[in-house]
A and B are shown apart, each in its own frame.
Chain A
Amino acid sequence: MGNEEKILKKLEKIFQIIFDDYSLRLSKNMTAEDIEEWDSLNQIKIILACEKEFSVKLNVREINNFANIGEMVTHLSNLEANIE
């Protein structure tokens, strides 16, 4: 499993917990509009959970600028690579 796939799996777990939906499956081309319960509070929860999980610091405006989950995965992958 490639690094981006691992990140996607971890993200999926975070999303499942935050949205309280264990049937939720993430794909790289999904957007915020595909998740009905996505709101400003859940976005904060996602950012804080990602910061804890991946030991990175995220910028909400950068996250908001991503076209889809795939771009977020790539961003997290790049941040992880920089740390290493």
Chain B
Amino acid sequence: MLFSSEIFLCIFLPISLAAFYIIKKTQYKIELLIISLLSLFFYAWNDPKWLLLLLSSIILNYIFGQVIFREKRKFFLEVGICLNLFIIGWFKYKYFFLGWAFPEENKINYLIPLAISFFTFQQISYLIDIKDKIVKPLKFLDHVFYVSFFPQLIAGPIVLAKNIIPQIVQIKNKIFSLNLFILGTVVFFIGLFKKVYLADNLAPFVDLGFSLIDNGLTFPEAWAIVSAFALQLYFDFSGYSEMAVGLGLLFGFRLPVNFNVPFKSVSMIEFWKKWHISVTNFFMLYVYSPLSLYLNRLKIGKFSQNYLLMLIIPTLFTFFLSGLWHGADWKFVYFGLINGIALIINHFWKIFKLPKLPKLFSWFLTIIVVLISFVFFRANDIDEALKLLFIMFNPSLLFLPDWFSNYFNIAIGINFSVLPFFLTGTFSLKFLVIFLFCAYLSLAIPNVADKNFKLAFSWKNSFYLAVVILFSLSGINEEVSFIYFQF
């Protein structure tokens, strides 16, 4: 079930909210049970066969949570993590590794269980936090609710146990807050607007452009469609994340922020503080930092200068894994490694105190690197990505646009029509308007999901909100899925 579907907005959400707020607070266990059951129903809506897998994962991690808390040995944590990795490995990466070992066999199309990356990693963090004594194990019903709560189940944000457990405990004392409810509604509709009006309007241009890589796509077209894809991905996923945060607020829960206006970043370090924050935090806390500390505690060389152990190996390993997390395909590994290498260069730039670049130039460099990595993210395979990169870095394919040449023919009298700029027709005035509008909004829309975001009531904001709601409602129920659902 999609957040942007009529069935969700008109039936599922009102029923869930009614169930949540009508039940008296003294019966919060019934409340948790009903919301959990509704969430499982939400999960099973399109493809019920994976429900058993989700429930098995929940029961398994509930048991391991209890055992890790009681038994102080690290062994149980290691078994718990290995079992989680086995499950995700089996359902998501089996054919990837088989294809690696036996390339001829790698032709099988297989379905990945919905949200498996999200609920598996969320529960791995839960087990580790219990071992670290950061959280105590949850009661069974609380655990089911923690994993299955529908706003965050399908595509995150990855909610760490330490952030949500105190909020689950507080359900007992919940008081309906009109301000929080209004804020949740606003945040949800801004997310919906980003998804159905911005991302989905960019999608046809991106799809067309990528389908023409072998059919004469030109240099400016290539940059245009990759930039358009960056905006599509941002609006698609940040829109989804904001819908999730907004829905969380409707139920009185504060879910973590996932994006913080990332395209304003002037360095790769800054970009990765602002892009897909919940997953970045997960990899930073549970992979990069422990690995970096472990390698440095081995005391190979002087720790203060050993950047190979402190930075290079842990960063490359982390981005290799985070690339694979996105999908069982080498193209995602390339996506991860490009970002990892760029991040290492950025750190060394600071370490060696190289001169600070002008902000505009730093921004430009950051965006170029991000776009190059997104080529691998979007392309169907590595070959296609390399072909597109060849076009992007071959300015001899620069020509003038057809639509522009007509103007020049009349105004200047020079026949530019012999210089087909956007040869394939992927570029049009309509595309330019949508692209510029989206590019502007990607920088202008503030991080509405942040806890410090306050609603300022004014006629101007009310007008903007009315426009956002109107346009987003006009686009609901389209048969377009969310990009991050595949992960």
Instruction: Give chain A's interface residues, CB within 8 Å of chain B.
Output: 37, 39-41, 43-45, 47-48, 51, 59-62, 64-65
Which residues of chain A are within 8 angstroms of B132 by Cβ–Cβ distance? Answer: 59, 61-62
Within the complex, the shortest CB–CB distance from B264 to chain A, in Å, comes to 15
- Tell me the bound Cα distance from A39 to B269 in angstroms: 8
Which residues of chain B are within 8 angstroms of A62 by Cβ–Cβ distance? Answer: 132, 134
B293/A64 in contact, CB under 8 A: no
- Tell me the bound Cα distance from A48 to B350 in angstroms: 19
Which residues of chain B are within 8 angstroms of A37 by Cβ–Cβ distance? Answer: 350
Please report which residues of chain B, range 113-151, place their CB below 8 angstroms from some CB of chain A when the two chains form the complex. 128-129, 132, 134
B284/A40 in contact, CB under 8 A: yes
Which residues of chain B are within 8 angstroms of A60 by Cβ–Cβ distance? Answer: 285, 289-290, 293
Instruction: Give chain B's interface residues, CB within 8 Å of chain A.
Output: 128-129, 132, 134, 162, 269, 273, 284-286, 288-290, 292-293, 296-297, 303-304, 310-311, 347, 350
Which residues of chain B are within 8 angstroms of A59 by Cβ–Cβ distance? Answer: 132
Q: With A61-B285, A65-B162 given, is the CB distance from A48 to B293 under 8 Å?
A: yes
Which residues of chain B are within 8 angstroms of A64 by Cβ–Cβ distance? Answer: 285
Which residues of chain B are within 8 angstroms of A45 by Cβ–Cβ distance? Answer: 304, 310
A-B contact count (CB 8 A): 42
- Tell me the bound Cα distance from A62 to B289 in angstroms: 12
Which residues of chain A are within 8 angstroms of B162 by Cβ–Cβ distance? Answer: 65
Which residues of chain A are within 8 angstroms of B296 by Cβ–Cβ distance? Answer: 44, 48
Looking across the interface, which residue of chain B has its beta carbon closest to that of A58? Answer: B293
Within the complex, the shortest CB–CB distance from A18 to chain B, in Å, comes to 10
A39: which of B273, B285, B303 is its contact (CB, 8 Å)? B273
Which residues of chain A are within 8 angstroms of B350 by Cβ–Cβ distance? Answer: 37
Which residues of chain B are within 8 angstroms of A65 by Cβ–Cβ distance? Answer: 134, 162
Which residue of A41, A44, A51, A65 has the most chain B CB atoms within 10 A of its CB atom? A41
10 A-B pairs (CB sep. < 8 Å) = A40-B289, A41-B311, A44-B289, A45-B304, A48-B293, A48-B304, A51-B297, A61-B129, A62-B132, A65-B162
Q: With A48-B296, A59-B132 given, is the CB distance from A41 to B285 under 8 Å?
A: no
- Tell me the bound Cα distance from A22 to B63 in angstroms: 50
